[in-house]
Structure 1
C-alpha cells in the first residue's frame, strides 16, 4: 500500500484529480475506483471524495508492488530518503541493475540490502563506467509519477566532466540525434535516423586549478553525453569507447539532481560534494 499525507494545497480537489495530477496510469485509476479499501484517516472513501481535511490517505496495492532483485551482502550510499523515494550513489564500475537473475554485484542488489522497502525501481540508469546519483522509487504508483516527471523534464540532472581541449569549450546546447553504431555493438553515434538527444553545457566550475563543464540533460539516451562531447571535439578523458583512452577511467559524474517533490511540494536538491569526485582531485 502507499501512504500519502494530504497537503493543504490539494483542498477542494477530489482524490481522483490529485492522483491524475501525479500521473497515475488509467489502469491503476480504474482499479482504484473499483476498490473499497481506500481510507482517509482510517475512514473508507472513494476516489470522488472531495478533499476537505489533511491527514493520511492509504491506497491499496492494485498492481504488483514488489521487486525481484536479489539482495547482495553489500550496501550502497543513500544521500536522500523519504517515504516515496531514495536517492543513492552508484559507484564507477557497478552496473545499475542486473541483466541476469544470478547477478548480485549491481546497484539495485546493494540497494535492496540497504533500503527497507519491498519495492525499489530506478527511473533512470547510468553507464557502468559513470559514478553518480540515481532516483529509486519505493512504490509502483510513485514510479509512474517520477517516470512522467522525467519525460516532461521536471527533474533536472546535472553532470560534471573532465574533457579534452576544455580551454576551447563554451556553454552551448548540443541537439544531435543518437542511434546505434552498426560497426560496434556497444557504441552509439550521431545519426539522422536516431532518437532526439539534447545536452546543455550550462556552466563551468573552476576547481583545483582545473576547468570542468557542467552538463544538463533534457533526454537520456545511452552514452548521450559521451557521444555528444565526442561529436563536438571534446571527448571525455578516460573514455575507452569515444576517445583514445585504453583505460576504463571515465571522468564523468552525475553529481546533482533537483526537482520539486510531487508528494510534499518541497524543493529537493541533492549533490555529491566535489571533494568526493575522484577525477577532480587527482
Structure 2
C-alpha cells in the first residue's frame, strides 16, 4: 500500500507514532477527483475513512498542501498519506538493542515480529517499534530476517553512511552464523557444504530448488545432539530468501516448526506458540568506516 518515505528528501508529513508517511505517484488514468481514485486504489479502506483522513490533513501533495475529496486528480503528482490499520494483533515478544553508535543500531529480534510494515502488520514491526523508541525517521534495515526467524539484525541510522554498510552484504564480506534445531542427519561427515540452485516457487512466498548451476551455499556443522533433535551451526555464504530452511528441508531434516518447508501448512495467523527453531546467532565484519572488527551475538537460545 504505497511506499514508505525513505531517501527521497524531506517528506511533507512528519513521522507519527513511529510510522513514516507513505507516498504514491499518481498513475495514468481518468478519475473525477482524488476521493474516487483513493477508494478505487485501496479497496480495503472505505470512503468514510478517506474523507476523515483528508479532513485531518493527513493526505497531502509533495508541497504539503492538503488534498480534499474534490481535489483534482493529476497524473504524475506525488501524494503522501499515513498507512493505518483498524485492528492489529499485539506480538507479545520484545526486541533488545545490542549496540548503537552514530551510524548503526544492532538489534536482537524476537520470533514472529516482522521487520517492516507489510500486510496486516504496521506498529507491530521491528522498524516501527525502533522508530518509536529512538525517535529516528531515517532508520532503515541494512538486511532482513524472516518474520519467523529470531536473532541479530542491523539498522542504519544515517543515509550518508548507509551505502558503505549495505555494500558489505552485497560483496558477501559479512560473516553470518545461524543456529537451527532439526532432526539428526545420518551418513554425513561434518562440517560439509551444501549447494543448490534456488528459484521462486509456485506460491509467491516460497522458494524451491531446480537442477542447474548452484546459486546458494551453506556450511553445515553440528553443535550438539539432543534427545529429540540436533542443534546445527549454519554459515550461509549466499543470502537467498529462505535459504537455510530450503537447504535443511532438502537434506530431509526440516527445521523444527517450519510451516513452509517441506510442505506449506495453512496460515496459523496469530498463533505464537510454536516458533521456528532458527536463530541468527551472530554477525561479524570489519567496519567500513572505522576499520574496527565488529562482532554481535544474540542473547537468545533455541
Cα distance change of structure 1 residues 177 and 259 upon mapping to structure 2, 3 Å threshold = same
**Cα distance, 1:147 vs structure 2:** 1.3
**Cα distance, 1:248 vs structure 2:** 4.5
Aligned with 1:92 (options 96, 101, 111): 111
Aligned with 2:18 (options 71, 76, 94): 71
How far, CA to CA, are the matches of 1:177 and 1:258 in structure 2? 26
For the residue of structure 2 that corresponds to 1:177, the secondary structure is strand
Query: Is the Cα–Cα contact under 8 Å of residues 195 and 214 in structure 2 kept in the other structure?
Result: no
Question: Is residue 2:256 matched to residue 1:237?
Answer: yes
Aligned with 2:201 (options 174, 181, 185): 181
How far, CA to CA, are the matches of 1:271 and 1:102 in structure 2? 27
**Cα distance, 1:128 vs structure 2:** 1.0
Q: Counterpart of 2:125?
A: 106
Question: Which of the two has higher C-alpha Rg?
Answer: 2
Query: Is the Cα–Cα contact under 8 Å of residues 69 and 108 in structure 1 kept in the other structure?
Result: no
For residues 159-200 of structure 1, what are the alpha-carbon distances to aligned partners after superposition, in whole Å with 9 as ceiling and x for unaligned?
000111245553111221211222x33321102479821212
How far, CA to CA, are the matches of 1:70 and 1:193 in structure 2? 48
Instruction: Specify every segment of 5 or more residues in structure 2 that has no aligned partner in the other structure, as ranges.
Output: 1-6, 20-89, 266-272
How far, CA to CA, are the matches of 2:187 and 2:10 in structure 1? 50
Q: Counterpart of 1:118?
A: 137
**Cα distance, 1:117 vs structure 2:** 3.0
For residues 200-245 of structure 1, what are the alpha-carbon distances to aligned partners after superposition, in whole Å with 9 as ceiling and x for unaligned?
21x4323877742111122211111000111122211111111479
Q: Counterpart of 2:245?
A: 226
Q: Larger % of helix: which?
A: 1
**Cα distance, 1:114 vs structure 2:** 2.1
CA RMSD of aligned residues (A): 3.1
Aligned with 1:191 (options 207, 210, 218): 210
Query: Is the Cα–Cα contact under 8 Å of residues 240 and 248 in structure 1 kept in the other structure?
Result: no
Question: Is residue 2:157 matched to residue 1:138?
Answer: yes
TM-score, L = length of structure 1:
0.66
